[in-house]
Structure 1
Amino acid sequence: MDTMLDKRERILAAAARLIVRNGLQCSMAAIAEEANVATGSLYNYFASKEALVLGVYTRVSLDMAERLIATPPAAEPEATLRHYIDSYIDFIWEDHDRARLFDYLDNNPLITMEDAKAIFGPFVQHGIAMIEAAQAAKVVREGTPTMIMSFLRGAIRNTLKRQRLSGPHLSSGDRQLIADMCWSVIAA
């Protein structure tokens, strides 16, 4: 791997871990130490803490897009949306720290609305398009596609957040229950 990219990714991962642990109270020096890079070197990649936070948001967005903007080949709108629900459950459940980071970033917006739209726009538009296609096929209830997709993602994140309090295991039955509940709420 390119050492420049590797160092940048280490810095982003370190920043994400420290944001989860301490919020934004972490210093650039602490992030550099966590990433095992010199503080001065950190500034070669990110001119400011704000730029680093923007980088963390971008990394989260890229991870989400990579995992969740995959559509099963030739799938009908219902199958596509059900696949998305299953994939989102897996995405949120499989990495506790990423889920906590996402929760923190979602509840403590650290970037402007314009930056958020630019970073998460493709991901959000993909979700809206899935809902619109499912509504056109009459398999999803009428309503604002943005609200329906926001509901789905929020319901999954919050349910899994509470489930983690019970322990580190998510049974296949509980996982299926979450997916079924999500579908039953939005189904036409």
Structure 2
Amino acid sequence: MVERIVEAARVVLVRDGYESFTTNRVADEAEVSPGSLYQYFPDKSALVTVVMDRWSAEISDRVAASLAASGPVDVQDPAAVRGIADALLSALEADAGLLRIVWEELPAVRHRAAQHALETRVRELLAVYLSAAGLRSADPAARAWVIVMAVENIAVRWVLDRPAISRDDLLDELTALAGGFASGSGADARSPE
């Protein structure tokens, strides 16, 4: 019953948007009475929280699984960098409708903690790779933060906006951006001390 309600909530959220999302619409979609729904979820907020938590976990698990499957990543290898960018893009594309709701409709307090957790998980893993690669960055964590924020935001906007850039071209550009920055190609832009 709970799974049916949560799946119905996800469908209604994507179909109708956050502003039109109601527990009555979810009950209708799940083919349960509103009273049955309220036995498990006290209000709209509780339903949205469960949907967002599950969605964030799915994205995080997809990206982490892709990184883990590839083994130690050589951030100087364009194919490895492209694979990471492809994993993130695939995870975001898997449910573009829900991504749009999260990114453009939900109040930030609803999803920011889950988004931050995903970013932190990927950033920490990337910082370890950057440190292990012995690159010239004085602060691998700072470099990882910049890479993750840039790639995440570009990937999200590409999925939502669908600009006239092919997926392959986007991956080429993300690879050049992230790979060049990760490897420190081009001199570090630090001011002399």
Compute the TM-score of the two structures, normalised by the length of structure 1: 0.74
Structure 1 position 145 matched with structure 2 position 138: no
Of the three residues 104, 108, 119, the one matched with 2:101 is 104
One-letter amino acid of the structure 2 residue matched with residue 133 of structure 1: V
Aligned length: 170
How far is 1:111 from its partner? 5.8
Q: Which residue of 1 aligns with 2:92?
A: 92
Structure 1 position 12 matched with structure 2 position 6: yes
CA distance in 1, matches of 2:136, 2:167: 22
* Cα deviation 1:11-43 (Å, max 9, x = unaligned): 222222222222232221111111122211111
* Structure 1 residues 85 and 13, CA gap change in structure 2 (3 angstroms): same
CA contact (8 A) 2:82 2:174 kept: no
How far is 1:99 from its partner? 1.1
Structure 1 position 182 matched with structure 2 position 177: no
Rg larger for? 2
CA distance in 1, matches of 2:36, 2:84: 39
CA contact (8 A) 2:96 2:159 kept: no
Compute the TM-score of the two structures, normalised by the length of structure 2: 0.73
- 5+ unaligned residues in a row in structure 1: which ranges? 1-6
Of the three residues 21, 38, 45, the one matched with 1:43 is 38
CA distance in 2, matches of 1:139, 1:100: 40
CA distance in 2, matches of 1:127, 1:51: 27
* Structure 1 residues 84 and 73, CA gap change in structure 2 (3 angstroms): closer
* Cα deviation 1:93-137 (Å, max 9, x = unaligned): 3x3xx2121122122333637x732x3454222211133234332
One-letter amino acid of the structure 2 residue matched with residue 50 of structure 1: S
- If asked which structure has higher relative contact order (CA below 8 Å, sep 6+), I would say 2
CA contact (8 A) 1:77 1:133 kept: no
